[in-house]
Amino acid sequence: MHRKEIVAQAKATFERWGVDMSLCEVGMVQTITRRLDYIATPQLILCDEAHHSLAASYKRIFEHFKNSVLVGFTATPARLSGTGMKEVYDDLIIGPEIKWLIDNSYLAPYDYYAPTLIDVERLKRASTGDYSNKSMDQAIKVRAIFGDVLKTYKEVANNTKTIVYTHNVQASIDVTDAFNRAGYHAEQVDGKTSAEMRKQAMDNFRSGRTLILVNAELYGEGVDVPDCQTVIMLRPTDSLTLFIQQSMRGMRYQPGKRATIIDHVGNAYRFGLPDTPREWSLEGQPKKERGKSDAPAIRTCPKCYAVLPANTHICPLCGFEQPVESRELDVKPKQS
């Protein structure tokens, strides 16, 4: 795994299912790479969040144990660069589509709102392929928009356990302060937060002591908090992987739960919705096709900002009836 939080979750899950942990070496990629000469050759390597597998640190492990069977797991077998994963894996086994998982109670159903609060025209791609930090700063004026962020939260997700994704540390601090001033118990974490404080913040969130957990580039992958109901996206991305991982973080199944996704940065218009059907391949895809969605056109309800199929006449969430545009047809009578 690539994060401490995921390592702890994996160990707890294995133990809960009665796995003999004396047969397992569970650790972060960085730790395993430092201990390659001291680890007995495994029969099987399980790689979580396998879309990271082309990174040099992962490949060092795979090459060192080249005779071991490798199985990777990911909800998003794609990379921002468009590079395929065939260099590492021989076969791709596709699981059920998201809609099937929702219909069969493996994931929670959701409502998706997209009151866009940023200037998307200012977003520019960096050499990494995703949007540059400078352009996100220019597009997102957090201090100017947090009132609208709070307003939408109160209207569609008030007092639900929530993860907020922001584009940088200062934005995460500003948003946390805004929620706390409004009377909600919010905590902020980022990559520079100490391991002890990160653990405490997650423990507080899981226990319910903290209602809103605001982060910068931390909890996009692998966080398992089944009663988290709401996700607020304040981080625009051109990465389909990041979009799916973040938007679906509140869709862990619990009986009776309905997730709420609030997208303030227009990500749905780049990628469609979480359950949009997608084709995955180990071959990769040309850069021009990255972010392409084959979903039907979507629009937002002008009253509640719910994302709907473009041909929806009445919003199923607020009941707003979309006026039907009419036009007169110049129809000439047939000549007898």
The confidence score (pLDDT) of residue 169 equals 92
Lowest mean pLDDT among 87-101, 104-118, 122-136: 122-136
More confident residue, 325 or 72: 72
Average pLDDT over residues 273-284: 88
Q: How far apart are CA 142 and CA 47, in angstroms?
A: 36
Q: What is the reported pLDDT for 327? A: 43
- pLDDT greater than 60 at residue 333: no
User: What is the pLDDT of the chain when averaged over all its residues?
Assistant: 87
pLDDT higher than 50, residue 84 = yes
Q: What is the pLDDT of residue 296?
A: 54
**Which residue has better confidence, 155 or 222?**
155
Q: Which residues contact 256 (CB under 8 A, 6 or more apart)?
A: none
> What are the backbone angles phi and psi of residue 148, rounded to the nearest 5°?
-70, -35
pLDDT at residue 230 greater than cutoff 60 = yes
Residue 48 CB neighbour total at 10 angstroms: 19
pLDDT score for 161? 97
Instruction: Give the pLDDT confidence score for residue 77 in this predicted structure.
Output: 87
Residue whose tokens read 């004396």: 22
Residue 216 φ then ψ, to 5°: -120, 105
- The predicted model gives 73-81 an average pLDDT of 83
Q: Is the pLDDT of residue 336 over 50?
A: no
- For residues 232 and 211, the answer to whether their CB atoms sit within 8 Å is no
Label residue 325 by pLDDT band (50, 70, 90).
Answer: low
pLDDT of residue 291: 42
Coil, helix or strand for 62? helix
Say if residue 22's pLDDT is above 90.
Answer: yes
How do 307-309 and 298-300 pair as beta strands?
antiparallel
**pLDDT of 47:** 95
* Confidence label for 326 from pLDDT (cuts 50, 70 and 90): very low
Instruction: Please give the average per-residue pLDDT across 161-185, as a whole number.
Output: 94
Domain assignments of the chain as residue spans, ordered by start = 4-74, 99-309
* Domain 99-309 falls under CATH 3.40.50.300: yes
> Phi and psi of 298, rounded to 5°?
-120, 165
pLDDT-wise least confident of 24-33, 137-146, 170-179, 272-281: 137-146
* pLDDT reading at 205 higher than 90: yes
Is residue 114 within 8 Å of residue 308, measured between CB atoms?
Answer: no
pLDDT > 90? residue 262: yes
For the ranges 80-89, 157-166, 265-274, the one whose mean pLDDT is highest: 157-166
Q: What is the pLDDT of residue 312?
A: 85
Residue 96: pLDDT band (50, 70, 90) is: very high
**Amino acid of residue 298:** I
Q: Mean pLDDT throughout 273-286? A: 85
Angstrom distances, CA of residue 23 to CA of 18, 37, 132: 12, 18, 43
Residue 315 has pLDDT above 50, yes or no: yes
Instruction: Quickly state the pLDDT bin for 287 (edges 50, 70, 90).
Output: low
Does the structure show a pLDDT above 50 at 36? yes
The token pair that represents 87 in the structure block:
């260099």
Task: Return the pLDDT at 324.
Answer: 65
Sorted by sequence, the CB contacts under 8 Å of residue 78 that are 6+ apart come out as 51, 240, 241, 280, 284, 285
What angle do helix axes 142-156 and 169-181 make, rounded to 10 degrees?
Answer: 50
CB 111 within 8 A of CB 261: yes
Enter the pTM of the model.
Answer: 0.84
